Amino acid sequence: MKKATTSQVLADFESLDEQQKNDVLQMLFGQTLKGSQDISKYKAVTMADTVMSMLLPPNGEHVFHSVTRQGEQMPSPKEPLIPFYISPGKYLTQYNQFWFLESLLGSDIIKKALKRRGVVDDQLIERLFSKDKHLYYLNQNRSYLLATSNELLEFDFGTLIPITALEALQQFGLEKMEEAKEKLYVRL
Amino acid sequence: MSVLTDEQLEALGPLVQPFERIDFINIILPYEATLFAVETHNVTAAGKPDKVITVTVDTARQRLAQGRYLWIIDQEGLKLILEATPNPKANRGVVCHTNITGGKPALQGGELWFGEDNRVYINYKSGRYGASTVGHRQAVLAYFRLLGFDVVQLPIV
C-alpha cells in the first residue's frame, strides 16, 4: 500500500459519501457517527500505512464553554457536540494543549471554524491567528514576548516592537503566547 | 462599598474586567472564575497572614515558582493566594488571579514572595489585572506599605 500524507488521506475521506465515511469510521472506532449528538468514544489512532495520527479528547468529547464576563461559565446544555480531531503538527502535539487555543482565541471562534471543517491542524491554526487583530510585542533584543504595550511596560523594557498574532504564533508558539497573555510577558 | 479611600481608588484604578488592560477579550477558561474564598487571605480585613511560605531572597529575586503567591487589590482590599493551590478542574491545574476575584473586576494584580528577610517581594505580572502606568506601581507600593509590609519591587530582569 502506498504511503499517503495526512492531507491526502483527509481529502480522500472528504470525497466519500456518507455511507462510505461511516464504513471507514466503523473500522477505526467500532461505531458510526449518527449526527453530532452521537459522538463515539475516541481513541488515538495511528495508521501503519499512513503518516496520519489523530489526537482526540481522551474522555470522548471536548466541552466548549461560553464566554461570560462574570462568574462561572457553564457549557450550554442545548448546544450539540462538535466532532473534531487534532492533526498533530508544529503548534499542537497533544490534546492537552488545545486549551491554549481557547485561551488565546476564545471558544466561539474555534467552534465556528470546526463546524466548517472538523480538524484542527497547523493550517487552521494559522488561519485563525491571521484573523486575530491583537498585537504582541517584543523588546529590542527579542528576549521577551509581551501581550500588550503600555506606559509601564515601555518604561521597563524600552521601545517595544509590535508583531502580529500570526507572527507570534509562527515564531514562538501557542504556549509562549498564552503565558504572555496570562502573566503580561514571558522570557523567550 | 469600598474599604479603600477615594484617593486610593483613583490612584489604583479604574476597576477593570479581567484582561481589559491588555485589550484581550475577556476569555476566562472553565473554573478560572471559581472563587477560592477559603484559600484566599484578605490582608486588609484580617491583617498579615500568619502562616506563609517564606523563600530565600534569591528565590524571590529569580521569581521562581516556589512560594509564589498571587495578589490582587479590589474594593475589598489586598488579597493573596498561593499560586500552587490546586485547581484540578482548570486546564492550568492551579489557581489564577480570577480565582481570587471570582472573575469580577479588580484594581491591580501581580505576584508576591515572602522573603526570609521579612520583606515581601512583588511584581505586577498579571495579564488579568496588572498595572499599566507608573502611577499604578507607585500606588500599589504605597498601599502595601500602608498595610505594614516592607515591600520590595522586583525589577524586570
ipTM associated with this complex: 0.94
Between residues B30 and A6, the one the model is more confident about: B30
Handedness of CA A24, A26, A27, A29 (dihedral sign): positive
Under the banding of pLDDT at 50, 70 and 90, the label for residue A24 is low
B38 contacts chain A (CB < 8 A): no
SS3 for chain B, per residue? Answer: CCCCCHHHHHHHCCCECCCHHHCCCCCCCCCCCCCCCCCCEEHHHHCCCCCCCEECHHHHHCCCCCCCEEEEEECCEEEEEECCCEECCCCCEECCCHHHHCCCCECEEEEEEEECCCCEEECCCCCCCCCCCHHHHHHHHHHHHHCCCCEEECCCC
Give the amino acid at B78. L
| Residues from chain B contacting residue A63 (CB–CB below 8 Å) | 30
Burial of B5 (0-12, 13-18, 19+ CB in 10 A): exposed
**DSSP annotation string for A140-163:** TTS-EEES---HHHHHHH-S-EEE
Asked if A70 lies within 8 A of B156 by C-beta distance, the reply is no
Handedness of CA A25, A26, A29, A32 (dihedral sign): positive
B88 contacts chain A (CB < 8 A): no
Q: Which helix (H) or strand (E) holds A136?
A: strand A135-138
Is 90 exceeded by the pLDDT of residue B4?
yes
Is 80 exceeded by the pLDDT of residue A96?
yes
How many residues belong to chain B?
157
Asked if B102 lies within 8 A of A71 by C-beta distance, the reply is yes
> Is residue B146 a contact partner of residue B44, using CB atoms and an 8 Å limit?
no
Indicate the average pLDDT of chain B.
Answer: 95
| Residues from chain B contacting residue A154 (CB–CB below 8 Å) | none
pLDDT at B64: 93
B138 contacts chain A (CB < 8 A): no
pLDDT at A78: 54
pLDDT at A15: 66
Q: Collapse the DSSP code of A135 into the 3-class scheme (helix H, G, I; strand E, B; otherwise coil) and give the result.
A: strand
The dihedrals phi and psi of A4, each to the nearest 5 degrees, come to -125, 150
Is 70 exceeded by the pLDDT of residue A6?
no
Q: 10 Å Cβ neighbour count for A45? A: 13
Q: How far is CA A54 from the centre of its chain?
A: 13
Per-residue exposure over B104-121, b if at least 16 CB sit within 10 Å of its own CB, e if not: bbbbbbbbbbbbeeeebb
Q: Report the chain A residue with the minimal C-alpha distance to residue B154.
A: A156
Q: Which residues contact A61 (CB under 8 A, 6 or more apart)?
A: A39, A42, A81
Is 90 exceeded by the pLDDT of residue B124?
yes
Under the banding of pLDDT at 50, 70 and 90, the label for residue A125 is very high
- How large is the average pLDDT for residues B124-150? 96
pLDDT at A45: 34
Bridge partner residues of A4 (DSSP):
A50
- How large is the average pLDDT for residues A76-101? 81
Helices A107-116 and A122-130 pack at an angle, to 10 degrees, of 130
- Residue that the C-alpha cell 490582587 belongs to: B72
| Residues from chain B contacting residue A180 (CB–CB below 8 Å) | 127
pLDDT at A71: 44
Between residues A117 and B76, the one the model is more confident about: B76
The answer to which of A23-37, A114-128, A141-155, B90-104 has the lowest mean pLDDT is A23-37
Handedness of CA B18, A145, A102, A110 (dihedral sign): positive
Q: Can you give the pTM of this predicted structure? A: 0.80
Handedness of CA B123, B125, B129, B133 (dihedral sign): positive
Handedness of CA B17, B128, A139, A177 (dihedral sign): negative
> Is residue B78 a contact partner of residue B109, using CB atoms and an 8 Å limit?
no
Q: State yes or no: cis peptide before B14, omega within 30 of 0.
A: yes
